[in-house]
Amino acid sequence: MPLPYRVVRRRAETADTASFVLEPLDEALPPFRPGQFAMLYAFGVGDIPVSVSGILPHRHRLMHTVRAVGAVSTALCELGPGDTVGVRGPFGTVWDTSRAAGGDVLVIAGGIGLAPLRPLVYEVFRAPHRFRRVHVLIGARTPGDLVYRDETAVWAAAGPGGTALTVDRPDAGWAGDVGLVTGLLGHARFDPPGTTAYVCGPEVMIRATARELVHRGLRPERVLVSLERTMRCGTGHCGHCQLGPLLLCRDGAVLGYDRAAPLLATREL
């Protein structure tokens, strides 16, 4: 059963994407960790998996970033402060940083794939000394598709790691890099065998990026990716999120590329 949460803030990110800060009306869900997701229920329409994009200790607040692509996500995107949503969770696996300590860290996002990585970025930024070098590499189709632009500008200017942005198709005002996010790897300094990478974005971007990282010498099990499949329950009961041997709501959505690669290589699995 979902618990009612109230929207306390809404921020438009792009033309079709908005972030929401949610606060429990009454009882709060157990704490979320970076990489996990909630099932967000839009009244009378349905519920969909949405990663936690911010974990705020104050009043058990959660942040979610939703891109309107269909019925439920559009209904969620239309909500404003004061409206209520139902929230279930936390579900799924986490962006584990325990094994990354002492080594280099790459956070690589495509489009709205930065949403699930955002709490990880803050976790890493809060304790930069746990790691050697930290790079946050962000790609999007156009400058208009970049999310958290105010924040990423701050990360790039003053963050403890190197933050770089690129777009496939620049507009008149764009002075930064152009090209796929993998192109940014050339500028990043990291020692492949000791590097842990966290990758999220469209499946094609994840595939290309993970392949490139392994090619550059990262160990596949240290390339963590977050995958998407349809989800109805989040609790391992509806069968919808199957990817071969995995139930992604339970065994994912975050998993090592060593396990993901053969599954992604089989068509229509």
Partner 1 sequence: MAETGTDIGAPAVLDRDGLDALVRALAARGRTVIGPTVRDGAVVLAEIDSGDRLPYGWGVELAAGRYRLRRRTDGAAFAHSAGPQSWKTYLHPERVRQWSADRAPDGGLTVTAGEGEGAARPSFAFIGVRPCDLRAIAVQDRVLAGGRHPDGVYRARRERAFIVAVECTEPGETCFCVSMGSGPAAENGYDLALTELTTADGGGDTDGRGDGEHRFLVRVGSEEGAAVLEEVAHRPADRPTAAAARDRVTEASRRMGRAMPPVDLRRLMGDSLDSAHWDDIAERCLSCGNCTLVCPTCFCTTTEDVTDLTGDHAERWRRWDSCFDLDFSFMHGGPVRSSVRSRHRQWMTHKLATWYDQFGSSGCVGCGRCVVWCPVGIDITEEAAEFHARARDAAGGRDGPGGDGRTGGGVPAAAAHRTDGGLP
Ligand X SMILES: Cc1cc2nc3c(=O)[nH]c(=O)nc-3n(C[C@H](O)[C@H](O)[C@H](O)COP(=O)(O)OP(=O)(O)OC[C@H]3O[C@@H](n4cnc5c(N)ncnc54)[C@H](O)[C@@H]3O)c2cc1C
Phi then psi for residue 6, to 5 deg, are -105, 140
Q: Give the residue from 24, 119, 143, 128 showing the smallest Cα distance to 64.
A: 119
37 binds, among ligand FES, ligand X, partner 1, none (CB under 5 to 8 A by kind): ligand X
Q: Is 219 in the site for ligand FES (CB under 6 A)?
A: no
- x/- site string to partner 1, residues 44 to 83, per CB under 8 A? xxxx---------------------xx-----------xx
CB of residue 184 vs partner 1: minimum separation in angstroms?
26
12 binds, among ligand FES, partner 1, ligand X, none (CB under 5 to 8 A by kind): none
82 binds, among ligand FES, partner 1, ligand X, none (CB under 5 to 8 A by kind): partner 1
Q: Is 65 in the site for ligand X (CB under 6 A)?
A: yes
Q: Is 15 in the site for partner 1 (CB under 8 A)?
A: no
Whether residue 71 has a cis bond before it, omega within 30° of 0: no
Q: Is 138 in the site for ligand X (CB under 6 A)?
A: no
Contact, 200 vs 110, CB < 8 A?
yes
114 binds, among ligand FES, partner 1, ligand X, none (CB under 5 to 8 A by kind): none
User: What is the enclosing helix (H) or strand (E) of 203?
Assistant: helix 203-215
What are 198's strand-pairing partners? 107, 224
245 binds, among ligand X, ligand FES, partner 1, none (CB under 5 to 8 A by kind): partner 1
Q: Is 239 in the site for partner 1 (CB under 8 A)?
A: yes
Length of the chain: 269
First-last CA distance in the chain: 30
Contact, 205 vs 181, CB < 8 A?
yes
Cβ within 8 Å of residue 163, ≥6 positions away: 135, 136, 137, 138, 152, 155, 156
Q: Is 31 in the site for partner 1 (CB under 8 A)?
A: no
Query: Would you give the DSSP letter of residue 2?
Result: P
CB of residue 151 vs partner 1: minimum separation in angstroms?
26
d(CA 95, CA 168): 27
Which spans in 81-185 are helix H?
114-126, 149-158
Q: Widest CA span of the chain, in angstroms?
A: 50
With contacts defined by CB under 6 A, how many residues of the chain interact with ligand X? 23
CB of residue 230 vs partner 1: minimum separation in angstroms?
6
CB of residue 232 vs ligand FES: minimum separation in angstroms?
5
d(CA 155, CA 98): 23
Q: Which residues form the interface with ligand X (CB under 6 A)?
A: 37, 46, 48-51, 65-67, 69-74, 112, 115-116, 228-231, 253
For ligand FES, the binding residues (CB under 6 A) are: 231-234, 236-241, 247, 249
Which residues bind to partner 1, rule: CB under 8 A? 1-4, 6, 25, 41, 43-47, 69-70, 82-86, 228-230, 232-233, 235-240, 242, 244-247, 250, 266-269
